[in-house]
A = this chain, B = another copy of it.
Protein backbone atom coordinates (compact mmCIF):
# COMPACT_ATOMS: atom_id res chain seq x y z
CA UNK A 1 0.00 0.00 0.00
CA UNK A 2 2.84 2.37 0.75
CA UNK A 3 3.94 1.88 -2.83
CA UNK A 4 1.18 4.28 -3.79
CA UNK A 5 3.12 7.14 -2.28
CA UNK A 6 5.97 6.59 -4.68
CA UNK A 7 3.63 7.13 -7.61
CA UNK A 8 3.34 10.79 -6.71
CA UNK A 9 6.22 12.62 -8.36
CA UNK A 10 6.85 16.10 -9.61
CA UNK A 11 6.16 14.90 -13.12
CA UNK A 12 2.86 13.33 -12.09
CA UNK A 13 1.70 14.87 -8.83
CA UNK A 14 -1.93 13.85 -9.18
CA UNK A 15 -3.42 10.36 -9.45
CA UNK A 16 -6.88 8.97 -9.69
CA UNK A 17 -7.85 5.88 -7.78
CA UNK A 18 -8.31 3.99 -11.01
CA UNK A 19 -4.91 4.90 -12.37
CA UNK A 20 -3.28 3.77 -9.16
CA UNK A 21 -5.32 0.55 -9.14
CA UNK A 22 -4.15 -0.24 -12.66
CA UNK A 23 -0.52 0.45 -11.85
CA UNK A 24 -0.70 -1.54 -8.63
CA UNK A 25 -2.50 -4.37 -10.34
CA UNK A 26 -5.27 -4.47 -7.76
CA UNK A 27 -9.01 -3.99 -7.98
CA UNK A 28 -10.56 -0.55 -7.83
CA UNK A 29 -12.17 -1.36 -4.51
CA UNK A 30 -8.81 -2.20 -2.99
CA UNK A 31 -7.25 0.94 -4.35
CA UNK A 32 -10.07 2.91 -2.78
CA UNK A 33 -9.31 1.27 0.52
CA UNK A 34 -5.62 2.19 0.19
CA UNK A 35 -6.40 5.78 -0.70
CA UNK A 36 -8.82 6.05 2.15
CA UNK A 37 -6.25 4.89 4.68
CA UNK A 38 -3.57 7.16 3.32
CA UNK A 39 -6.01 10.05 3.26
CA UNK A 40 -7.06 9.42 6.84
CA UNK A 41 -3.53 9.98 8.11
CA UNK A 42 -3.13 12.95 5.78
CA UNK A 43 -0.51 11.51 3.47
CA UNK A 44 -2.91 12.00 0.56
CA UNK A 45 -5.47 14.67 -0.05
CA UNK A 46 -8.44 14.56 -2.41
CA UNK A 47 -8.74 17.19 -5.11
CA UNK A 48 -11.77 17.85 -7.23
CA UNK A 49 -12.68 15.19 -9.76
CA UNK A 50 -11.43 12.03 -8.08
CA UNK A 51 -7.85 13.18 -8.25
CA UNK A 52 -5.51 12.90 -5.31
CA UNK A 53 -2.27 14.61 -4.37
CA UNK A 54 0.15 14.41 -1.46
CA UNK A 55 -1.50 15.55 1.74
CA UNK A 56 -1.06 17.98 4.60
CA UNK A 57 0.47 15.49 7.03
CA UNK A 58 3.64 15.79 5.00
CA UNK A 59 3.88 19.50 5.73
CA UNK A 60 3.24 18.79 9.37
CA UNK A 61 5.90 16.11 9.57
CA UNK A 62 8.33 18.27 7.65
CA UNK A 63 7.95 20.93 10.31
CA UNK A 64 8.68 18.33 12.92
CA UNK A 65 11.87 17.36 11.16
CA UNK A 66 12.90 21.00 10.90
CA UNK A 67 12.40 21.44 14.61
CA UNK A 68 13.59 18.10 15.96
CA UNK A 69 16.17 16.59 13.65
CA UNK A 70 19.39 16.48 15.65
CA UNK A 71 21.75 16.94 12.70
CA UNK A 72 19.70 19.80 11.30
CA UNK A 73 19.50 21.53 14.66
CA UNK A 74 23.21 21.21 15.20
CA UNK A 75 24.08 22.30 11.69
CA UNK A 76 21.89 25.35 11.25
CA UNK A 77 23.89 27.85 13.31
CA UNK A 78 27.18 26.53 12.00
CA UNK A 79 26.03 26.94 8.42
CA UNK A 80 24.84 30.48 8.95
CA UNK A 81 28.21 31.20 10.44
CA UNK A 82 30.32 29.58 7.76
CA UNK A 83 28.52 30.97 4.74
CA UNK A 84 29.86 34.40 5.74
CA UNK A 85 33.35 33.29 4.81
CA UNK A 86 32.45 32.23 1.29
CA UNK A 87 32.64 34.50 -1.77
CA UNK A 88 29.53 35.99 -3.35
CA UNK A 89 26.99 33.67 -4.88
CA UNK A 90 27.97 30.70 -2.72
CA UNK A 91 25.67 28.21 -1.07
CA UNK A 92 26.11 25.92 1.89
CA UNK A 93 24.44 22.51 2.00
CA UNK A 94 23.64 19.85 4.56
CA UNK A 95 22.97 16.48 2.98
CA UNK A 96 22.34 12.87 3.90
CA UNK A 97 22.16 9.50 2.17
CA UNK A 98 18.78 8.25 0.99
CA UNK A 99 18.14 5.16 -1.09
CA UNK A 100 21.05 4.98 -3.51
CA UNK A 101 21.24 8.74 -3.63
CA UNK A 102 22.05 11.77 -1.57
CA UNK A 103 19.50 14.29 -0.47
CA UNK A 104 20.00 17.87 0.60
CA UNK A 105 18.18 18.48 3.87
CA UNK A 106 19.13 22.10 4.42
CA UNK A 107 20.46 24.93 2.35
CA UNK A 108 21.79 28.33 3.35
CA UNK A 109 22.32 30.95 0.67
CA UNK A 110 25.23 33.34 0.86
CA UNK A 111 25.13 37.01 0.05
CA UNK A 112 25.29 38.25 -3.50
CA UNK A 113 23.34 37.19 -6.56
CA UNK A 114 22.38 33.52 -6.63
CA UNK A 115 22.32 31.26 -9.62
CA UNK A 116 20.37 28.06 -9.19
CA UNK A 117 22.14 25.08 -7.65
CA UNK A 118 21.20 21.53 -8.53
CA UNK A 119 21.30 20.51 -4.93
CA UNK A 120 18.09 21.77 -3.48
CA UNK A 121 16.33 20.82 -0.27
CA UNK A 122 14.48 17.55 -0.80
CA UNK A 123 15.91 16.73 -4.18
CA UNK A 124 17.67 13.42 -4.77
CA UNK A 125 21.15 13.74 -6.25
CA UNK A 126 23.46 11.06 -7.64
CA UNK A 127 25.66 9.28 -5.14
CA UNK A 128 28.73 9.10 -7.34
CA UNK A 129 29.17 12.67 -8.49
CA UNK A 130 29.87 15.92 -6.70
CA UNK A 131 31.85 16.50 -3.52
CA UNK A 132 28.72 16.54 -1.38
CA UNK A 133 27.85 13.00 -2.41
CA UNK A 134 31.34 11.59 -2.81
CA UNK A 135 32.38 12.28 0.75
CA UNK A 136 29.28 10.50 1.98
CA UNK A 137 29.98 7.59 -0.33
CA UNK A 138 33.51 7.38 0.99
CA UNK A 139 32.26 6.74 4.50
CA UNK A 140 29.66 4.08 3.80
CA UNK A 141 30.35 0.66 5.25
CA UNK A 142 32.47 -1.76 3.21
CA UNK A 143 29.47 -4.06 2.99
CA UNK A 144 27.36 -1.30 1.59
CA UNK A 145 30.07 -0.18 -0.81
CA UNK A 146 30.49 -3.68 -2.14
CA UNK A 147 26.81 -3.86 -2.94
CA UNK A 148 26.90 -0.47 -4.62
CA UNK A 149 29.93 -1.40 -6.69
CA UNK A 150 28.23 -4.53 -7.91
CA UNK A 151 25.16 -2.66 -9.03
CA UNK A 152 26.70 0.55 -10.34
CA UNK A 153 30.20 -0.31 -11.54
CA UNK A 154 29.70 1.43 -14.88
CA UNK A 155 28.56 4.65 -13.24
CA UNK A 156 31.40 4.44 -10.75
CA UNK A 157 34.02 3.99 -13.46
CA UNK A 158 32.42 6.80 -15.41
CA UNK A 159 32.69 9.11 -12.42
CA UNK A 160 36.40 8.33 -12.22
CA UNK A 161 36.12 6.58 -8.89
CA UNK A 162 37.78 3.41 -10.10
CA UNK A 163 37.37 0.66 -12.64
CA UNK A 164 37.99 -2.19 -10.24
CA UNK A 165 36.83 -2.83 -6.73
CA UNK A 166 40.34 -2.24 -5.43
CA UNK A 167 40.70 1.04 -7.26
CA UNK A 168 37.29 2.12 -5.98
CA UNK A 169 38.19 1.17 -2.44
CA UNK A 170 41.47 3.00 -2.51
CA UNK A 171 40.00 6.12 -4.13
CA UNK A 172 37.49 6.36 -1.34
CA UNK A 173 40.10 5.61 1.30
CA UNK A 174 41.99 8.60 -0.08
CA UNK A 175 39.00 10.87 0.49
CA UNK A 176 38.59 9.54 4.00
CA UNK A 177 42.24 10.21 4.76
CA UNK A 178 42.00 13.72 3.33
CA UNK A 179 39.08 14.42 5.61
CA UNK A 180 37.00 15.89 2.81
CA UNK A 181 36.53 16.21 -0.90
CA UNK A 182 36.71 18.92 -3.56
CA UNK A 183 35.15 18.59 -7.02
CA UNK A 184 34.98 21.02 -9.94
CA UNK A 185 32.05 21.09 -12.32
CA UNK A 186 30.98 17.58 -11.40
CA UNK A 187 27.30 18.38 -11.19
CA UNK A 188 26.83 21.98 -12.27
CA UNK A 189 29.50 23.19 -14.65
CA UNK A 190 31.07 26.37 -13.42
CA UNK A 191 30.59 25.28 -9.82
CA UNK A 192 33.01 23.93 -7.26
CA UNK A 193 32.00 21.69 -4.37
CA UNK A 194 33.84 21.40 -1.08
CA UNK A 195 32.54 18.80 1.34
CA UNK A 196 33.33 17.25 4.72
CA UNK A 197 31.69 14.23 6.33
CA UNK A 198 29.53 14.35 9.43
CA UNK A 199 29.98 11.19 11.49
CA UNK A 200 28.23 9.96 14.59
CA UNK A 201 30.08 9.03 17.74
CA UNK A 202 30.64 5.54 16.35
CA UNK A 203 32.10 6.74 13.09
CA UNK A 204 29.04 5.95 10.98
CA UNK A 205 28.25 8.48 8.28
CA UNK A 206 25.28 10.74 8.93
CA UNK A 207 25.70 13.20 6.09
CA UNK A 208 27.91 15.91 4.71
CA UNK A 209 28.45 19.62 5.06
CA UNK A 210 29.46 21.37 1.86
CA UNK A 211 30.08 24.61 0.04
CA UNK A 212 29.05 25.20 -3.53
CA UNK A 213 31.04 28.06 -5.07
CA UNK A 214 31.18 29.77 -8.41
CA UNK A 215 34.22 28.38 -10.15
CA UNK A 216 35.20 31.91 -11.19
CA UNK A 217 35.61 32.87 -7.54
CA UNK A 218 37.27 29.69 -6.38
CA UNK A 219 41.04 29.92 -6.73
CA UNK A 220 43.43 27.59 -4.94
CA UNK A 221 43.83 29.79 -1.89
CA UNK A 222 40.11 30.19 -1.37
CA UNK A 223 39.19 26.56 -1.85
CA UNK A 224 41.99 25.60 0.50
CA UNK A 225 40.76 27.88 3.22
CA UNK A 226 37.15 26.87 2.77
CA UNK A 227 38.13 23.23 2.83
CA UNK A 228 39.56 23.71 6.30
CA UNK A 229 36.50 25.66 7.34
CA UNK A 230 34.17 22.98 6.08
CA UNK A 231 36.01 20.30 8.01
CA UNK A 232 36.00 22.43 11.13
CA UNK A 233 32.28 23.06 10.69
CA UNK A 234 31.57 19.38 10.36
CA UNK A 235 33.47 18.73 13.60
CA UNK A 236 31.46 21.47 15.31
CA UNK A 237 28.23 19.86 14.17
CA UNK A 238 29.37 16.49 15.45
CA UNK A 239 30.25 18.02 18.78
CA UNK A 240 26.95 19.86 19.06
CA UNK A 241 25.06 16.65 18.33
CA UNK A 242 27.06 14.70 20.88
CA UNK A 243 26.28 17.35 23.49
CA UNK A 244 22.57 17.40 22.79
CA UNK A 245 21.99 13.73 22.23
CA UNK A 246 21.75 11.02 24.79
CA UNK A 247 24.70 8.79 24.11
CA UNK A 248 23.53 5.54 22.64
CA UNK A 249 25.50 2.55 21.46
CA UNK A 250 25.76 2.14 17.73
CA UNK A 251 23.32 -0.37 16.39
CA UNK A 252 22.29 -1.75 13.11
CA UNK A 253 20.55 0.54 10.72
CA UNK A 254 17.95 -1.09 8.57
CA UNK A 255 17.84 1.65 6.01
CA UNK A 256 21.47 1.51 5.14
CA UNK A 257 21.71 -2.21 5.13
CA UNK A 258 19.62 -3.36 2.29
CA UNK A 259 20.73 -0.59 -0.02
Contacts and interface: CB of A to CB of B under 8 A. Distances in A.
A120 interface: yes
B202 A64 contact: no
Contact of A46 (B5, B8, B254): B254
Identical chains in the assembly = 2
A48 B98 contact: no
A209 to B, nearest CB: 17
A48 B250 contact: yes
A118 to B, nearest CB: 13
Interface in A52-79: 53-70
A227 B65 CA distance: 35
Given A103-B60, A204-B48, A254-B46, A6 B41 contact: yes
Nearest to A4: B41
Of A59, A122, A250, A254, chain B has the most CB atoms within 10 Å of the CB of A59
A13 B68 CA distance: 7
Interface string A91-108: 000001011000101000
Main secondary structure of the interface of A (DSSP, over half): mixed
A64 B250 CA distance: 33
Contacts of A69: 13, 53
A200 interface: yes
A58 B56 contact: no
B63 A61 contact: no
Interface of A: 2-3, 5-6, 8-10, 13, 35-43, 45-51, 53-70, 96, 98-99, 103, 105, 120-124, 200-202, 204, 248-256, 258
Nearest first, the 7 A-B pairs at minimum CB distance are A49-B248, A63-B122, A13-B68, A62-B62, A46-B253, A56-B98, A59-B122
